[in-house]
Amino acid sequence: MTIDSWFLQLTPPAWLTCTQQQMFSVQWHPSHRGCQTTNRTISCLNYSCSDWQYNSMPDSRNQSCLMGAEDTVSLLACVFHAWEEWAGLGQVEDYLSVLEYLLWVFTPLAIVFIVPFLIVILLYLSILFLHVYKRKNQLREAYSNNLWDGARKTLATLWDGHGAIWHGYEIHGMEKIPDKGPALIVYYHGAIPIDYYYFLASVIIQKGRTCHSVADHFLFKIPGFKLLLEVFSVIHGPQEECVRALKNGHLLGISPGGVREALFSDETYPLLWGKRKGFAQVAIDSQVPVIPMFTQNVREGFRSLGTLRFFRWVYERFRLPVAPVYGGFPVKFRTFLGDPIPYDPNINAAELAEKVHQAVQFLIAQHQQTPGSILRALLERFHTKNKGQ
């Protein structure tokens, strides 16, 4: 049976169209052995049979297109499609389609996870409000006496609520802090001493006292911190000023390790005090007891990358504490206060510094499993057993 000709309706791919989704009517002539467009459709392209057969040959298609162009419009159309193919605009449309599909698929999943998260945030804010409201009578009394006392009481309540919610904060041995009179509190410095902030809040709420603190010089250079440091009686640490605060009957907190301990200590909890003994001399000159303090899991809440050589070099060379700190994990925090070391006129500063060092080291050994584990510290939120039990 001889077939002279027949028509075939085709839906061309993107690289083949002059207009979107244009249908081609192609007449095949066995005698001519070529493909031609018919009068029934308006086409700007004229392809040879090889162009239809070998779709993976764009150069041949473009060449055939240009050779077969009969007028200026067809030529311009060929040039435009060649440029479109070279620029990969068709692929861009495919990528956008994929992104649109992924957005359609994952948007419900994102909403499913985000909405409960927002509800949890609202619950935490509600609990925090209840912590403040529970102490409203104390706040009212504080504001009636002194403006800054009221501000300190308010912020202490907020920080106390944050510690209770996020870390299940506990403090053991608060009875060792005197209700009146001076004492020097020496503590281990975490990457971020947030445990010390909770301790200060507890002292304000439970003892009605403001504990003065010694901080590094760089803290006073941070914009906006001046007022906060003044309200909470933070000093930069000259021995004379420390002695003056203690002789005036205040509590004073200090970390001999300071920034160095914050940056370069790790989950094994080494004390990086070096040969520092100025704090011991302050205690001797003021004739006050020294109370050691340590917070369990403080290194699991926040950790530092200061153990990397580059950050240590920067600090040693320029005294810039630029080591990144990461974390904020809701691990269990327990602050332990050791037995006070009474004033002894028969020992010198070096001997007292060693004695305090051993006392803090004893608290670490008694209450902290080393090396510390973030997972274990998280699980401790669900039970009360600690290393000392």
Catalytic residue among 189, 212, 250, 357: 189
Q: 356: which residues sit within 8 A by CB, 6+ positions away?
A: 186, 256, 279, 280, 290, 292, 341
| DSSP per residue, 153-169 | HHHHHHHHHHHHHHH--
pLDDT tens digits for the chain (389 residues)?
443 433 333 444 444 444 434 444 343 344 444 444 443 333 444 444 344 333 434 455 555 555 555 566 666 777 766 766 665 555 656 666 777 777 777 777 666 556 566 666 766 777 777 777 777 767 776 666 676 888 889 889 989 999 999 999 999 999 999 999 999 999 999 999 999 999 999 999 999 999 999 999 888 888 888 888 888 999 987 899 999 999 999 999 999 999 999 999 999 999 999 999 999 999 999 999 999 999 999 999 998 988 888 999 999 888 888 888 888 889 999 999 999 999 999 999 999 999 999 999 999 999 999 999 999 999 999 876 556 45
pLDDT on residue 121 = 76
What is d(CA 187, CA 198) in angstroms, rounded to the nearest whole number? 13
pLDDT on residue 322 = 86
What is d(CA 131, CA 182) in angstroms, rounded to the nearest whole number? 29
Sign (positive/negative) of CA torsion 315, 320, 323, 327? positive
Beta pairing partners, 186? 254, 292
How many CB atoms neighbour CB 12 within 10 A? Answer: 17
pLDDT on residue 38 = 41
What is d(CA 80, CA 65) in angstroms, rounded to the nearest whole number? 11
pLDDT on residue 63 = 53
pTM of the model: 0.68
What is d(CA 174, CA 338) in angstroms, rounded to the nearest whole number? 10
Known active-site residue 189: yes
Q: Which tokens hold the place of 3? A: 């077939």
What is d(CA 15, CA 77) in angstroms, rounded to the nearest whole number? 11
> Which amino acid does the sequence have at 264?
F
pLDDT on residue 136 = 72
